[in-house]
Chains A and B, each alone.
Chain A
Amino acid sequence: MVAAEVPNLASAAEYFFKIGAEGKRFRPTVLLLMATALDVHIPELSPPGIGDTLPTDLRTRQQRIAEITEMIHVASLLHDDVLDDADTRRGVGSLNAVMGNKLAVLAGDFLLSRACLTLASLKNTEVVTLIATVIENLVTGETMQLTTASNKRFSMEYYMQKTYNKTASLISNSCKSVALLAGHTAEIAMLAFEYGKNLGLAFQLIDDVLDFTGTSASLGKGSLSDIRHGIITAPILFAMEEYPQLRAVVDKGFDNPANVDIALEYLGKSRGIERTKELAMKHANLAAAAIDSLPQSDDEDVIKSRQALIDLTQRVITRNK
Chain B
Amino acid sequence: MARAALLHLLRYRTASAAAAAEPLSAFRCQLMTRSNSKTPAAGIKWAGFCRPFSSKAALNDVIGNDTDSSVAVMEPQEQVDPFSLVANELSLIATRLRSMVAAEVPNLASAAEYFFKIGAEGKRFRPTVLLLMATALDVHIPELSPPGFGDTLTIDLRTRQQRIAEITEMIHVASLLHDDVLDDADTRRGVGSLNAVMGNKLAVLAGDFLLSRACLTLASLKNTEVVTLIATVVENLVTGETMQLTTASNKRFSMEYYMQKTYNKTASLMSNSCKSVALLAGHTAEIAMLAFEYGKNLGLAFQLIDDVLDFTGTSASLGKGSLSDIRHGIITAPILFAMEEYPQLRAVVDKGFDNPANVDIALEYLGKSRGIERTKELAMKHANLAAAAIDSLRQSDDEDVIKSRQALIDLTQRVITRNK
Which A positions have Cβ atoms within 8 angstroms of B?
A: 4-9, 79, 82-83, 86-87, 89-93, 98-99, 101-103, 105-106, 109-110, 112-114, 116-117, 119-121, 123, 125, 128-129, 131-133, 135-136, 138-140, 142-144, 146-147
Contacts and interface: CB of A to CB of B under 8 A. Distances in A.
Interface in B209-226: 209, 211-213, 215-216, 218-222, 224
A6 B224 contact: no
A102 B227 contact: no
Contacts of A135: 208, 211-212, 215
A91 B188 contact: yes
Contacts of A98: 182, 185-186
Contacts of B200: 83, 86
Contacts of A7: 246
Interface string B163-198: 000000000000000100110011011111000011
B189 A93 contact: yes
B239 A4 contact: yes
A157 to B, nearest CB: 13
A117 B234 CA distance: 10
B245 to A, nearest CB: 6
Query: Which 8 residue pairs are nearest across A and B when measured between Cβ atoms?
Result: A91-B190, A132-B215, A116-B231, A135-B212, A113-B234, A113-B235, A136-B212, A128-B219
B281 interface: no
Contacts of A144: 105
19 contacts: A8-B245, A9-B239, A79-B205, A86-B190, A89-B190, A91-B191, A91-B192, A93-B186, A99-B245, A110-B242, A113-B234, A123-B224, A128-B218, A128-B227, A140-B104, A140-B209, A143-B103, A143-B205, A147-B107
Contacts of B224: 120-121, 123, 125, 128
Nearest to A76: B208
B366 interface: no
Contact of A147 (B105, B186, B213, B239): B105
Q: Give the size category of B's interface with A.
A: 35 or more
B204 A83 contact: yes
Contacts of B230: 116
Contacts of B104: 140
B356 to A, nearest CB: 19
A146 B242 contact: no
A117 B212 CA distance: 13
A225 B193 CA distance: 21
Among A83, A121, A131, the most chain B Cβ lie within 10 Å of the Cβ of A83
B352 to A, nearest CB: 11
A117 B239 contact: no
Contacts of B108: 139-140, 143
Interface in B243-302: 243, 245-246
B16 to A, nearest CB: 40
Nearest to B105: A143
A229 to B, nearest CB: 12
B204 A102 contact: no
B228 interface: yes
B181 A105 contact: yes
Contacts of B190: 86, 89-93
A7 B104 CA distance: 39
Given A135-B212, A136-B213, A146-B201, A116 B227 contact: yes
A302 to B, nearest CB: 30
Contacts of B106: 147
Contacts of B242: 4, 6, 8-9, 103, 106, 110
B227 A119 contact: yes
Contacts of A114: 235
A153 B267 CA distance: 44
A255 to B, nearest CB: 12
A86 B196 CA distance: 10
Contact of A101 (B185, B208, B215, B239): B185
Nearest to A4: B239
Contact of B243 (A6, A79, A86, A101): A6
Interface in B67-104: 103-104
A139 B208 contact: yes
Residue among A86, A128, A143 with most chain B CB within 10 A: A143
B232 A86 contact: no
Given A86-B200, A146-B202, A9 B238 contact: yes
B241 interface: yes
A77 B100 CA distance: 26
Nearest to A132: B215
Contacts of B181: 105
Given A86-B185, A139-B209, A6 B235 contact: no
A116 B103 contact: no
Contacts of B235: 110, 113-114, 117
A82 B243 CA distance: 20
A123 B95 CA distance: 30
B252 to A, nearest CB: 13
Contact of A128 (B202, B205, B215): B215
Contacts of B198: 146
Given A83-B201, A86-B185, A136 B192 contact: no
Given A5-B239, A110-B238, A103 B185 contact: no
A140 B104 CA distance: 8
A139 B239 CA distance: 23
A133 B56 CA distance: 30
Nearest to A124: B224
A87 B197 contact: yes
A262 to B, nearest CB: 23
Given A117-B231, A135-B211, A147-B105, A125 B239 contact: no
Nearest to A101: B185
